[in-house]
Amino acid sequence: MMPSQETNPMGGARRKDRLSNTSQKTHSTGSHTLQTGAKAFKERLRIGLMFWCAPIYPFVGSPRPKNRPMKTICKRKCLILLLCLLFPYVNLGGAEEYSGVRPSAVDTVNIVRRSYPYVALYNTFAKWAAYSGWNKILFSGRLAGHTARSVARPNNDTLNLTALLDLRKEAVIVEVPAIDSKYVSMMTSAYDHYIEIPMSTTFERGDFSRPSRVLFYNQRTERYHGEPVEGVDRTCEMTGDFVAMILRAMPHLNDPPRAERIKSQLRQVTLKTLSQFKNGPGIAPADLSFPEFGRTTADVFGTNFLEVMQFVLNHTIFDPNNDMDRALLEACKALGMEPGKSFDPAKAAGIGSLRLRPVAESVEKSVRPPVNRSRLFMPKGRIDLETQLFQTVVGPLGQPEHQAIYLGSRALAKEVLNARNDYVIRIAKDQLPPAKAFWSFTLYDSRTGFFIPNDRQKYSVGENTGYQLNDEGGLDIYISAEKPVGVSDENWLPTHRNDQALDVALRIYAPDFEKMKTWKRPAIEEIKRP
């Protein structure tokens, strides 16, 4: 049955028009739309060729280890290419059909690729909500450490304040005081992982120089429909019922009094529903059962993907004119999932035969940095699927280029970094990262995307965690298990002497694009030990 206008985020009438326009691209099996064989084959071939052209190592895109025979690598690539072509149509047996759809006929690669950002963001939000709840402020007053594991590649250079917003029953108002920091930004995202920046000190319009009130809602929010509210400075229409709002602030730790002042100001951030803002009692949110989250995104694909994705579809607002939205909904419909439907566990038994977890893991390994990095972390309609997948896998909930530039080891090193070796990053005086705000180098375990635990709790080098310039005014940063003789503590990123792939991320906040034109990226060099 077609969802009603109230429960279907795309609207019943417009949805009918959309489906009629796409009838030539798909064919119907029962009440579900399946991709044509030619289109599915092309997609699998494209993924297979991506694997063929890419090295198969712990950190995707890294150079081939010196001791890995080329013959072995070619064999592995041939096997992966064959699996990419055949796997989606192999029914591993013992499974029932899901709501009338034969699992062996579903293009699993396409489904996983298009749903991956939504599943990953659901998983991240659910982990945060288990700790903080909804419509509440979460602020620790500390930089993230090695226990931060809710999102891959967290930063270690800003104070982060987070709020998870439930916009179903009421609009939510976040009140922010003036914050005495060189850099502050407000970032938002729903499950769709489209990034918006409602406020930032880089906008040169006085953001965070005075108190501000920001109202968040969506087109389905009850009791609010976009009208002006006295005392509210700006309104933000979101694309889902559940939204993450993150404030990032440069802490100025090299100036302790200022750092304490910034922390105090961030503790003054408040959150109220619209009725509470108007001095009412507030309206209790509707009861809702959230699906279980997994330790990783791949875990969700392996256990309760159908339940999570149906939940996400019901709480995301889709645009009938957006190509990526249409493609996602068509892929989900092949498994009987549509906005407004309920999850039926009795009909989900057949999903086991699709073996979505290994497909998700393959998608994770296939991502590549976009050629145009300016498309990273952009709003809806300004980002493509490949870029969205890359940012979700490598490090979700980052910021667009006008706020921060992110450069990883693949841009800075010639070979895979490994903790068995020692490295140095040498930066000349006139080649320090061109930031109008600040910059940092952060070290990660490449496989997990998390900080490497150490007794010193040292995970990054930069203005907020400290560094010492050399006699020439440049900077030398050392990555090693033991601190080299004569190297300051601030310039040492400790590792453990084991076979562990490493990743270094350079973040440049409020980049100076004019200086970027002549700036030379620093290189990570291996230190030859006797």
The 10s digit of each residue's pLDDT in 395-406 is 999 999 999 999
pLDDT tier, 372 (very low <50, low <70, confident <90, very high otherwise)? confident
Residue type for position 424: V
Higher pLDDT, 453 or 40: 453
Whole-angstrom distance, CA of residue 51 vs CA of residue 46: 9
Query: Where do we find the tokens 């910034």?
Result: 262
Q: Residues 6 or more apart from 21 whose CB is under 8 A from it?
A: none
pLDDT at 282: 82
Q: What angle do CA 10, 11, 14 make, to 5 degrees?
A: 90
Q: Is the CATH number 2.60.40.1610 carried by domain 135-277?
A: yes
Phi, psi dihedral angles at 162 (to 5 degrees):
-125, 145
Whole-angstrom distance, CA of residue 443 vs CA of residue 2: 50
pLDDT at 175: 98
The 10s digit of each residue's pLDDT in 277-333 is 999 888 888 889 999 999 999 999 999 999 999 999 999 999 999 999 999 999 999
pLDDT at 344: 85
The 10s digit of each residue's pLDDT in 96-151 is 344 445 555 579 999 999 999 999 999 999 999 998 999 999 999 999 999 998 88
In 3D space, the residue among 436, 370, 400, 442 whose CA is nearest the CA of residue 187 turns out to be 400
pLDDT at 86: 55
Mean pLDDT of the chain: 85
Q: What is the mean pLDDT of residues 66-79?
A: 60
pLDDT at 76: 62
Model pTM score: 0.81
Phi, psi dihedral angles at 71 (to 5 degrees):
-60, -40
Q: What is the mean pLDDT of residues 425-450?
A: 96
CATH for the stretch 403-527? 2.60.120.600
Q: pLDDT > 90: what percent of the chain?
A: 70
- Enter the tokens of residue 59: 């950190």
Long-range contacts of 82-87 (CB under 8 A, 24+ apart): 82/48, 83/48, 84/44, 84/45, 84/47, 84/48, 84/51, 84/109, 84/362, 85/41, 85/44, 85/45, 85/48, 87/44, 87/355, 87/358, 87/359
Higher pLDDT, 482 or 38: 482
Q: Is residue 364 within 8 Å of 447, Cβ to Cβ? A: no
CB atoms within 10 A of CB 522: 22
Q: Which of 6-10, 35-39, 436-440, 486-490 is the least confident region?
A: 6-10
Query: Where do we find the tokens 């006797």?
Result: 530
Domain ranges of the chain: 19-120+293-366, 135-277, 403-527
3 state SS of 444: strand
CB atoms within 10 A of CB 239: 22
The 10s digit of each residue's pLDDT in 162-211 is 999 999 999 999 999 999 999 999 999 999 999 999 999 999 899 999 99
Q: Within the chain, how many helices (H) and strands (E) appear?
A: 13, 20
Phi, psi dihedral angles at 213 (to 5 degrees):
-120, 130
